[in-house]
Every structure is written in C-alpha cells, then in structure tokens.
Amino acid sequence: MPVKSKKTKLTVVEKIAELTENKQDAELSAFLNDQYPQDISEAIENLKDEDRVYCFNLIGFDLTAKVLAELNTDNQMILLNAIGLEKIAPIIAQMDVDDATDLIINLPEDKKSELLKILPDPIQQAHVQELIHYPPESAGGIMSTDFLKLRSDMTIHLAFNYVRRQAAEYKFQIYYLYVVDNNNKLVGIISLQDLICAPPYDLVANHMDTEVITSKVVDDQETVANTMSKYDLIVIPVTDDENSLKGIVTIDDVVDILNKETTEDIYQGSGISDAFPSDELISGKVAYAVRARFPWLLLTLFGQTIAAIIISLFDKTISSVPIAVSFMPLLSGLSGNIGGQTATIIVRGLVTGDIDLKNTLKHIFHELKIGLLLGTTCALITGLIAWKLHDLPILGLVVAFALTCSMVVGVLLGTIFPMLLQFFKKDPATASSPLITTILDILTFTFYLTIISTTLKYLR
C-alpha cells in the first residue's frame, strides 16, 4: 500500500464521512478495507455515535482490531456497548496484548470480568489478567508480552528453528531475542542478525550480550521512555525484582508516552487539568473542557481577588501618586513572565533527568544569578523610562528596585515550586504558570505599594 500524504489523509476522512452519510454500504466497505487503520479511526472519531457503529461494522475482521486499538477510550466504549461483549471479544483477541489490556482496564468491573472470561485465546487472556494488575502508567502497565525468549543452553540451530516456528504462528515484530535460564531469569540478549550469523551448533550463551539495560515493572512510564531515549533503544526488556523477564516496551509505545507526557506538561503548565484526554479538550464535549480548565481559573480568580483587596488597602497612596499605578502592570507582567520561564526550564530538567534534586542548592543559585542579571537589566531600563517620563528620579529608583526584587522572587518561586513537588513525589508540571503568576502579583503589589507609601513625600 502506498504511503499517503497529509492531503490524501484528509480526503480519506472526508470520503468515509460522505459514504457513511449516504449509507453506501458496498462502496464504503470496499473503501474502508483499502485504508490504513489510523485513517479509519480518525474518520470514525469525527462521525456521530450511530454512524461510528455503522461504519465500524463494515470493516473487515482482519482490520477491526487495528482500528479499535487506534480509537480513543470514549469511542472504544461506544463501540463496545453498541456491539456487545460476545461479538467484540473475537476482535479484541486479535489485538496486541498491551492494546487489549488498555481497552479492558477502562471497563466497569462487571464487564471487565465477563469479557476476560469469554476471550477466545487463553494465552492472551492469561497475559491480560497479569497486565491489568500493574498501574496503567508503569512499565508493567504499558509493556507487551509479544516477544520471544531462548534458553542459554540451546544450540543456534535449535534456537533458529524455534524462532521460525514462533514467528510464523504469532506474526509479531521481532526486535531481539531474550535469553533466560531455567528459572526465567534474564541472562542476556541476542539480535536476530547475530543468531543468523552464528555457527549452527554453537550455544546461544556464546553469542548473547550479557550487559542488558532493563526496566522494572514498577518504573514510571516516563522513566522508561527517558531510559530508551538516553541509550537509543528501540526496545527494552521489563523485569521484576527477581530479574524474571515479564515483557518488553517498544519504541512505538515510547513515542506515544512522550507525546502524552509532553501534552500533560504543556496543559498543566497552563493551568489545565490532565484528568481529561487531550482530544476531548479540543473536539469533545464542552463540559469536559470546562471542567478541565475551570479549577485553575477559579484559583486564579481567588488569588487575583486577594491582589485587588491589597490594592484597595492602598487607595490613599494611589490617589496621592496615581502615576505610580501605571507601572503595576509592567511589574506584574515581567515578574510573572520570568517566573513562568524558570518553572518551564526546571520542570523540563526534572522530567529529562538533567536536574537532580541532590544538587538543589546548585540549581537554585544558578537560577538566582540569572534572575539577578535579568532583573537588574530590566530594572535599569524601566527605571530610566519612569524617570524620563515623569521627571522624577526617585520614581525611577523605586520602580527599578521593586522590579528587581519581584523578578528575583519570580525566579525563586519558579525554581523551588517544581523541585518541592518532585521531592514529594508529585508531578512538577503542576507548578503551573497561573499559580506562580498569581502568587507573584500578590507579593509584588504588596511590596511595591508599601515602598510607594514609604517614599510618598518624595513622589508628590
């Protein structure tokens, strides 16, 4: 099948929508079964609920599992409820174990138990029952059990024949072959190329690599992704505390993880809850988007209300020196900006492992020096502008001093907040820019107006 351009993909989606709307069964079925599952799932997600079921029912059986795996959770549930467990169980049996687990784990407990009982493949059933007990975002929760393992005492000839039989039967992608002892302990790894090139009657143990980078089943998925990225791996074996081989995580899973984690960090950094799927925030129910965005807006509302109350407490000062008020948005904007910049850099460093909590003081002083340099530079420019605009040197000095202090505090908050969250095992991305900006506004306005009140006689 030829590779389709972005333009062709859009045409595929539109064509499926048109054929679905006109209920052209034969033409739609023929067209669907000649497309990539990713394009079909994209088209289905843009249809009405009843049309999604109608369209899905016209897809050939060999393709349905791939399409179902590409759909988001809500659409999977819509199809499952409409088609029924009995009819969808054979389709799920064709899915990769990790994809099937992701679908089943989102079911209500009664349906989950029922579906597990009627899965036609007992091997897949056993693997799914094992995987659903791991946290969804752990290495155990995302790993696949579709891999081949060899014993170290096998001959190359025996191992090669075994691999040929297994590959023909299960038809999954073979990256590496994992070598275990009689207790299923991982002892080495051998590539398919090395297996083919080795002398037929030599032992597997003589050609395997014993230095294997692994992940533990309890590791967070982001840790797994970072490890694979660091060592340029296309697959990583997953073991338990006894070094028993449990599964593998492949590069396609890592791409999905990094995309998901990056999206979560961007949303959380903007004050948007990560409790809802990103596609639902864009094209899903309005209620989802409102519920995801409202909590942080409400927190900001309360915070800015406090800031407004603080400003009102200095009403006499403001009425005496109204020109001083004109610089408050500038103070708020610059301090909030540098606080947000710092938080973004620190969060990213914590996620990638470039920042280690063992060196917390080092990173705090590093960012503090940057904050002082940037704050002083901006303060000198702003102070000079204030002086020349109003011909008041003392005003320029007050604005410059307040701006330097607020920007330094912004850097400190942007540095310390994410690190504290990381220390307490929380996602550092929740130290969002709206939170830092709100706190900075309260502190900046209080500090600035207090200085103005103190120097009032020099500003009139």
Query: Looking at the structure, do residues 200 and 332 belong to the same domain, yes or no?
Result: no
Q: In the prediction, which pLDDT does 350 show?
A: 83
Asked whether the whole model's pTM tops 0.85, one would answer: no
For position 288, what pLDDT does the model report?
A: 66
Q: What is the pLDDT of residue 4?
A: 46
Task: Select from 176, 246, 189, 186 the least CA-distant residue to 217.
Answer: 246
Same domain for 253 and 114? no
Nearest of 271, 318, 361 to residue 449 by alpha carbon: 318
Residues 393 and 375 in one domain: yes
Assess if residue 36 is contained within a domain.
yes
In the chain, pLDDT over 70 holds for what percent of residues? 90
Shared domain check, 80 and 152: no
What pLDDT is stored for residue 389 in this prediction?
A: 87
Whether 253 and 401 share a structural domain: no
Residue 270 in any domain: the answer is: no
455 within domain boundaries: yes
Nearest one of 95, 145, 138 to 120, comparing CA atoms: 95
How does pLDDT run across 50-71, given as a tens digit for each residue?
888 899 999 988 899 999 998 9
* 354 in any annotated domain: yes
Please report, as a single letter, which amino acid is at residue 286: V
Geometric angle at alpha carbon 100, from 122 and 120, rounded to 5°: 25
Q: Is 90 exceeded by the pLDDT of residue 457?
A: no
404 found inside a domain: yes
Q: Which carries the bigger pLDDT value, residue 277 or residue 359?
A: 359
For residue 248, the SS3 value is strand
Same domain, 120 and 199: no
Residues 152 and 74 in one domain: no
Whether residue 343 lies inside any domain: the answer is yes
Is 1 a residue whose pLDDT tops 70? no
Each residue's pLDDT tens digit, 197-219: 999 999 999 999 999 999 999 99
CATH number, domain at 14?
1.25.60.10
Residue 314 and residue 443 in one domain: yes
**Average pLDDT over the chain, rounded to an integer:** 85
Q: What would the pLDDT profile of 156-188 be if each residue is shown by its tens digit? A: 999 999 998 888 777 677 889 999 998 899 999
CATH number at residue 329: 1.10.357.20
In this structure, the answer to whether residues 427 and 447 fall within a common structural domain is yes
Do residues 417 and 325 both lie within one domain?
yes
For residue 190, pLDDT beyond 90:
yes
Give the separation between CA 253 and CA 102, rounded to whole angstroms: 12
Residue-wise pLDDT tens digits, 264-300: 666 666 666 555 555 555 555 677 667 777 777 888 8
More confident residue, 155 or 423: 155
**What domain count does the chain have?**
3
Domain boundary residue, one of 142, 168, 196:
142
Amino acid at 99: D
216 and 360 both lie in a single domain:
no
In a domain, 264, yes or no: no
Secondary structure of residue 304 in the 3-state scheme: helix
* Domain end point (choices 259, 293, 308): 259
Tens-digit pLDDT profile for residues 378-406:
999 999 998 888 888 888 999 999 999 99
Task: Please indicate, yes or no, whether residues 138 and 153 belong to a single structural domain of this protein.
Answer: no
Residue 271 forms part of a structural domain = no
Per the structure, the complete domain to which residue 35 belongs is given by 6-142
Q: In the listed set 117, 142, 167, which residue is the last one of a domain according to the structure?
A: 142
